[in-house]
Amino acid sequence: MREGKIGIGVIGCGAVARGFHLPAVRRHPSVALLALADVDETALDRAAREFGAERATFDYRDWIKDPAIEAVIIATPPEVTPQIAIDCLQAGKHVLCEKPIAISYEMGRRVVEAAEASGRKFQVGFIFRFNAGVRMLKRWITEGAIGSPMVIRLGAFNEPWMVTDPDHNRRVIEVLRTSTPLVVGGAHLADMALYFASSPPIRVSGVSARTRGELPEDNHWIGVIEFADGSIGKLEMGWLHPIAEADEHRGPYPQVKYPEIEIFGSRGIAWHDLRTGRTQLVRSEGVIQKRLPPYELNFDAQLEAFLTAIREDRPPSPDARDGYRSLSLTLALHEAIRRRTSLEIVQEEEG
């Protein structure tokens, strides 16, 4: 039964699609999953079995022109994402695209151009924007409860080294061959830093380290951003660090500190714990504590925002330009860190 529903195709049936996007699609009453594509047979079969779809193919171009498919979710590795996004937009599809939208300025710009030329909705999967705790922090900033200039401390230490899952390690190492944790995972942190900051970034610097000699690239990156109003941001991305894998310690990386989302200002310190949903504002007058919904449910809110933009013909948010702003910031940090120097950020003309 798909009367009145928006027909959706999903390209890339790996971890984030199976774990989060496809369950959100299944839970949503107004969408019908019509097609799946993945170049990997195992991933494709597994998703097709678990979620069902009228079509499951290795090549998305087999179904991308089907007019019944109005929208596409792209959850592929970043080196192939931009061309797939451009193909989908040119086929007239609305796109919910995983971050980063690209790993080079050139491809990032091409995605923005294709999105804007298409007249379709293009939303980037900056999932933290749909996190109630992150929104709460933004509200406290806007209301002046934190004070500025701010120190914005963001960090993520996902993609651990898993002795029991060498396939996982292999996939992460593959990503390190074409990019870095800073550009791939750091896309979220850069978007969040830009979302929280009240002024543009003007200078970047930082350091990186390789804690495992066998890796093709540094696995821990610490970037520093200076903003025009004197605020500073710290973006820290660490991959392939050890975790305990015994059953009693399982859970989302319990012994590695979960993403840091902390803001210090003259009036208050605020933080959000992504794992528990605890969100706190500490000020001399007292402490405000909230417990807000956890990470998984953000995918429902993200999908709903995308569908609303389509239904009501409204601009999506975050859009392709947000995707490009985040990419430019991580690429600038990447270059500064590589050269062990600090670089000024020149604002690109937006027109």
Ligand X SMILES: NC(=O)c1ccc[n+]([C@@H]2O[C@H](COP(=O)([O-])OP(=O)(O)OC[C@H]3O[C@@H](n4cnc5c(N)ncnc54)[C@H](O)[C@@H]3O)[C@@H](O)[C@H]2O)c1
Write out the residues near ligand X by the rule CB under 6 A.
Answer: 11-17, 37-40, 43, 60, 75-78, 80-81, 98-99, 125, 127, 171, 184
Pull the structure tokens for residue 67: 């007019």
- By C-beta, is 173 or 288 nearer to ligand X? 173
Tell me the helix, strand and coil percentages in the chain, rounded to 5: 40, 25, 40
Q: Give the C-alpha separation, 161 to 321, whole Å.
A: 33
Task: Provide φ and ψ at 118, rounded to 5°.
Answer: -80, -25
Q: To the nearest whole angstrom, how small is the minimum distance from the Cβ of residue 195 to ligand X?
A: 15
Give the CA radius of gyration of the chain.
Answer: 20
Q: To the nearest whole angstrom, how small is the minimum distance from the Cβ of residue 16 to ligand X?
A: 4
3-state SS of 278-299 is: EEEEEECCEEEEEECCCHHHHH
- By C-beta, is 126 or 264 nearer to ligand X? 126
| Residue 275 vs residues 179, 260, 295: alpha-carbon distances, Å | 27, 10, 7
Cis bond before residue 149 (omega within 30° of 0) = yes
Q: To the nearest whole angstrom, how small is the minimum distance from the Cβ of residue 18 to ligand X?
A: 8
Q: To the nearest whole angstrom, how small is the minimum distance from the Cβ of residue 81 to ligand X?
A: 6
Q: Give the C-alpha separation, 336 to 344, whole Å.
A: 9
Q: Which residue is nearest to ligand X (CB)?
A: 14
Q: To the nearest whole angstrom, how small is the minimum distance from the Cβ of residue 99 to ligand X?
A: 6
Q: Give the C-alpha separation, 30 to 156, whole Å.
A: 33
Q: To the nearest whole angstrom, how small is the minimum distance from the Cβ of residue 174 to ligand X?
A: 8
- By C-beta, is 39 or 228 nearer to ligand X? 39
Task: Find out whether 81 and 98 touch, Cβ atoms under 8 Å.
Answer: yes
| Residue 117 vs residues 107, 111, 295: alpha-carbon distances, Å | 15, 10, 33
- By C-beta, is 188 or 205 nearer to ligand X? 188
- By C-beta, is 128 or 227 nearer to ligand X? 128
Q: To the nearest whole angstrom, how small is the minimum distance from the Cβ of residue 320 to ligand X?
A: 15
- By C-beta, is 279 or 330 nearer to ligand X? 330
- By C-beta, is 72 or 150 nearer to ligand X? 72
- By C-beta, is 20 or 140 nearer to ligand X? 20
Q: To the nearest whole angstrom, how small is the minimum distance from the Cβ of residue 31 to ligand X?
A: 18
Specify the 3-state DSSP secondary structure of 207: strand
Q: Give the C-alpha separation, 104 to 332, whole Å.
A: 11
> What are residue 55's DSSP bridge partners?
35
Q: Which residue, chain included where needed, has tokens 């870095």?
A: 180
